[in-house]
Amino acid sequence: MFDTETAWGRALTRLFQSHQHTFNLHQHRQNIGHRADPNEDDFAALSALTDQPRDRLEGRGEKLFHEEMQSEQPFPGVREFLAWAHEQDVPVAVASSSPRRLVQPFLDSHDFSPYLQYVSYADNAVPPKPAPDVYLRALAQLGVPARQVIAVEDSSDGLRAAAAANIPCICIGPTDTVPSLSADPHLQRVYDFRAAASFLRSHLLSPLRLPPYTAFAAGIR
């Protein structure tokens, strides 16, 4: 829904520079979509370099992230799709690998919350993707089976989480994002959210679908 990874890259670059260290942005981009162990993540790495407590660095990093996100806009097509789904009574949910404090402010600031029936966060002991828990919890809250859902993902861990939850998925990105899933008949590949929205509209209104059909908008880190 948002390009959060670019914002995180800028925030972490600023954080490392504030401590006279260089952030490895190339490595960060290679790890997009993967949730690192807190003992091995970027904040832990900077903590080892500076002797600053990891939690303090994480708090500062999140503040910088929020600042960087002020200039980020939703992906083209997201707002239009949410309005369309609302008009068609197609319930939409978000399944995120991030805790509430990093997700809800942006959903609220862009007035997306009224269009969402549920937001599933990776907090309160719910593990992040590639574990399927954020999807399974959303399915349970909405009361719909996986076969009546279409997921939208843009990372390898997100695709694996949807697959583990047995949810058909649209992959936004190149065909080599997850090579092991390339032949999966339940995986449709497109290159931006507008193409994903077009696919969703055509399939969610198919006369063969079993209502209610739920579209998951996923992709917030």
Tell me the torsion sign for CA atoms 206, 84, 98, 118. Answer: negative
Of residues 23 and 219, more confidence is placed in 23
Q: Which residues pair with 170 in a beta bridge?
A: 152, 188
Query: Which pLDDT does position 177 carry in this prediction?
Result: 45
Residue showing tokens 């809800």: 104
pLDDT, average across residues 48-57: 96
pLDDT, average across residues 129-154: 90
pLDDT, average across residues 115-135: 91
Query: Which pLDDT does position 212 carry in this prediction?
Result: 45
Does residue 36 carry a pLDDT above 80? no
| pTM for this predicted structure | 0.79
Query: Which pLDDT does position 187 carry in this prediction?
Result: 54
Joined together, the tokens standing for residue 22 give 């260089």
Query: Which pLDDT does position 169 carry in this prediction?
Result: 86
Query: Which pLDDT does position 124 carry in this prediction?
Result: 78
Tell me the torsion sign for CA atoms 43, 15, 98, 189. Answer: negative
pLDDT tens, position by position, 164-215: 999 988 887 654 444 444 445 455 555 578 888 887 887 776 544 444 444 5
Give the CATH class of 78-217.
alpha beta
Query: Which pLDDT does position 154 carry in this prediction?
Result: 77
Mean pLDDT rounded to a whole number for the chain: 82
